Structure 1
Amino acid sequence: MAKFVYRMENILSIKYKLEEQAKNIFAEAKHKLDLEEEKLEALYKRKNLYEKELSDRIINQLNLLEIKRLEDSVEILKYKIRMQMIAVNTAKNEVELARIKLNEAMIERKTQEKLKEKAFEEFKKELNDEERKEVDELVSFMYRQTSEDQ
């Protein structure tokens, strides 16, 4: 029996590797986004802590130097939060680009798999046609043998 050999198997394996690379890039981008969002959350928590401490100091103790330091700290944190929001948005864009590339790689791989399936179906059809031809020849031979014997 003949063995199926897909002529473009090397292309299919390249598509698998490209898809795997795209998955890794996507995972790295997603991880980076998660880290950036965690940093942003930490900055918000720190800012809220400073704001609470500032309001406590204003209500309880009138230490102007400490109040000024806390106000400056809140302003600095607001700036850092804006910068971190930019970093988060950049990371989101990178994740989206990686997702698009991953989808493209998956589509290309699936296309190659469909081509391989079609080639295999064609191979099976040719093999079946060959077997039918052999059976027909055998039947024809047997028929001639029996008609000659009579």
Structure 2
Amino acid sequence: MAGFQYAYQKIVDLKSSEKTQAEWLLSTAVGKLQTEEMSLNQYFQERASWSERLHVASSTAVTLSELMVMQQYIEYVDTCIQTKQMDVKHAQRHVDDSRVVLTDKMMDEKVWQKSKERALGRFRSIMQTKEQNELDEMATVRFAAAAR
């Protein structure tokens, strides 16, 4: 008997491949988001550290120029924090977009897999019918031969 060959198997394979690529893209986007968040947290830690230094320095004998340099550096870190927050938002949007793409690819793949499963079911039904007809014919031939 012939084996089942789905006529659209290449499309099923393509949809599976597209889903895998979408998973990789999502994984990459999540990694980028995590990197951006870690960087942002480092800026927050650095700002807290410098704020503490400024607070301690303001209560000790430190020149005004040193205090101004510390304050300017804190303002620079604040600017970096704002920029990094925008980067984090952009990375989050990219993750969200990647999730939507992955969801679409998964639905596409599922549709084609279901189509393949239905075709396989039809194939099996046809094969069972053929086998049953062959068995019925063999039984009829035997019965006719025994009746002679």
Equivalences, count? 148
Which 4+ residue blocks in structure 1 deviate beyond 6 angstroms?
none
Identity %: 24
Letter in 1 for 2:105: A
Deviation at 1:20, TM superposition (A): 1.2
Separation in structure 1 between the aligned mates of residue 24 and residue 105 of structure 2, nearest angstrom: 12
* Paired residues of 1:12 and 1:109 also in contact (CA < 8 A): yes
Can you list the C-alpha shifts for 1:4-48, whole angstroms capped at 9, x where unaligned? 101110001101110111011111111111111111011111111
Separation in structure 2 between the aligned mates of residue 140 and residue 85 of structure 1, nearest angstrom: 81
Separation in structure 1 between the aligned mates of residue 39 and residue 19 of structure 2, nearest angstrom: 30
User: Aligned runs of 1:27-42 on 2, under 5 Å?
Assistant: 27-42=27-42
Separation in structure 1 between the aligned mates of residue 61 and residue 37 of structure 2, nearest angstrom: 35
Deviation at 1:113, TM superposition (A): 1.2
Letter in 2 for 1:96: D
Aligned to 2:111: 111
Aligned to 1:131: 131
Aligned to 2:73: 73
Which shows bigger deviation, 67-76 or 137-146?
A: 137-146
Can you list the C-alpha shifts for 1:89-128, whole angstroms capped at 9, x where unaligned? 0000000100111111111112211111111111111000
Aligned to 2:5: 5
Deviation at 1:139, TM superposition (A): 1.7
* Paired residues of 1:57 and 1:63 also in contact (CA < 8 A): no
Q: For the aligned residues, what is the CA RMSD?
A: 1.0
SS at the partner of 2:2?
coil
Which shows bigger deviation, 84-93 or 113-122?
A: 113-122
Give the TM-score normalised by the residue count of structure 2.
Answer: 0.95
